[in-house]
Structures are given as C-alpha cells and as structure tokens.
Amino acid sequence: MSALPVADSPIVAVEGLVKHFPVRGDAYGGHAEQVVHAVDGVSFAIAPGETLALVGESGCGKSTVARLVLRLLDATAGTIEFDGVDVTRLGGKQLRDLRRRVQVVFQDPFSSFDPRRRVGDSVAEPLVAQGRKAEVAARVPELLDLVGLEPAAANRYPHEFSGGQRQRLAIARALSVQPDLVVLDEPVSALDVSIQAQVLTLLADLRARFGLAYLFISHDLAVVRNVADRVAVMHLGHIVETGPTGTVFAEPVHPYTRALLSAVPDPDPVRERTRERIVLAGDPPSPIDPPSGCRFRTRCSLAEESCAATEPPLVDRGNAHLVACPLAP
C-alpha cells in the first residue's frame, strides 16, 4: 500500500505503519498471549501547510496512529519519515530535535495541564525542554496574545479558565517552539458547539499565518468536512478510503464510509427526513481476532466469499480518491 503522493516533499510520510499490543492472560486466569491489531499497514503523507483528517469509530486505531507519529509509542513495523528522515528509530538529541518540529494538542484541555502550575509555566514547558529558557519571558505573552488571551493570564491556574480558553492555552503551548506539524487529537470534541467554531477558526488562521501542517484526528465528520483538505477513513486498523475531503463526502464509495456519512445529521429538516440511513448489522469485530481478508466483510452488505481471501488494496478511482473495495460501484 503506497502513501498518497500529495507533494514532491511531504512534511511527513507514513508507510506500512503497524502497531500491535500484546495481551497476556484472560478472565479465567489463563496465560495465553494474544495481540491487539491496533494499526495494520497504514500509509499516508501530509504536505506542508495541509490538513489531513483521520476519521473513524472509537477503537479504529486513529489515536494510536497519532501517538506513533509523535513517537509517544514505538511502531511494531513500518516507517515514519519526517522531511525524508525515518524517525522510528531516533533517540537522544535527534529525538529531541524532532519534538520541536512535531507538537500535539490533546482532546481534554483540563487533563493536559498540571493544576498546580501557573499556565504561563505550562505554555513555556516545550521551550524549557528544548533548552530555550532565555526566550520564555518574551515568548509567553506573545503566544497568549496569538491565541486571543491576555498576557496577564500567564499568572493564573488552569481551573480559572473555561474549556475553550484552556484549549487555546494548549494551542499556544504547541506553537511555542514553532513546529512544522501539529497533531490535533480530537481537539474540539470536549467543547460546546459554539466554542468549537471559535477554536477551529483559530486553528485555520494559525495554519494560514505560519504554514502549519495538521494531522487532525476526529470521529466528528461534520467538523472534518469544514477543516480538512483531505480525509482518510480508518476501520479496524486499516485505511479503507482516502481522498480530497469534498470528493469523499460528495461521492463516498466504500460501504463503511457510506455508513459513517449516513449517520451525520443534515441541518435541512426536509433532507434529514428523506435521506438514506445505513444501519450496520452485527457487532464490530474484535481487534484481537480480526476477520481474514477484508475486515469490514462481516458487516458489509456487498460481501462475497472472495472477500475473506485477501485484504483489498487501496485503488485510485481518479482525482487521488483511493478506495479499498473491489465490489463497490
């Protein structure tokens, strides 16, 4: 499976990424070792200044991919190239250098801050870790202003801010070391809808201003539709469909993508009453014992006997729209 060629020099290129977690023991005291197939052969690339959204149900592996790209987890197999350098085996100073160029904004803005520290110290933490303590006094007020907060906020504690303000602080912290890529792991899912819009607008403005690339992890397709240049749909550790966001949303091909999109409410009441809804039969397969061949086949209305034989590859259907289903119309 090849990474999607989005630019001559992508900022990050992931190829054949695999992450398996061993599980020991069972509910009856046994000692058999099993493996959770969290990520199995994921490939993608992100160009400078581009937003790629990774979407799917909870448990599909998208947050694991984010942690692998950040090197918070070590890959079982595959490569993650940053500016052409495979970072999967970096350590020491080389890994610290990578941390400057790749930052993260987590889902829960409250849990990502130490409640005992002033937020100014937390925002400055990446700078201190990079040995740039001398820049803190000037940089922190600049960062707070950048995300729409008063510089005096640096002396307050996390509990004194609203959820949206805390997420702005998390964005300021991520930008403190001037990264090239920011991993956004469900960055607005814990916020009210009106606050979501403000934070998403801020992220778009910062991307345009600094040429940032985003890896946007989300299960909310309505949000993704408005923020991403391209989207990759994950199911049980695999990417099953990927392409330009407008194309995937307007012309979904894979049965799983079609089912996901059918669950997104339509703001037009007439269309909402008449639109097609696809309800998947049965339970999702276990990542410990995934089905052979196509992992979606046990819930797919198009499935045939041949689907159990081999895993379908991503095939380009034109306009860089890749789909892993030979039976889809």
H helix or E strand, kind and range, residue 117: none
Q: Do 8 and 67 form a contact (C-beta atoms < 8 A)?
A: no
- Range with the lowest mean pLDDT among 79-88, 188-197, 260-269? 260-269
Assign 32 a pLDDT band (cuts: 50, 70, 90): low
- How far is it, in rounded angstroms, from Cα 262 to Cα 152? 46
pLDDT of residue 83: 87
Assign 112 a pLDDT band (cuts: 50, 70, 90): confident
- How far is it, in rounded angstroms, from Cα 56 to Cα 62? 7
pLDDT of residue 4: 46
Q: Is the pLDDT of residue 91 over 70?
A: yes
Q: Is the pLDDT of residue 27 over 90?
A: no
Domain architecture of the chain: domains with CATH: 12-323 (3.40.50.300)
Q: Averaged over 48-58, what is the pLDDT?
A: 94
Assign 20 a pLDDT band (cuts: 50, 70, 90): very high
pLDDT of residue 25: 63
pTM of the model as a whole: 0.91
pLDDT of residue 5: 42
- Range with the lowest mean pLDDT among 59-73, 85-99, 225-239? 85-99
Report the share of the chain in percent with pLDDT over 90: 71
Q: Do 259 and 278 form a contact (C-beta atoms < 8 A)?
A: yes
Choice between 1 and 23, residue whose per-residue pLDDT is larger: 23
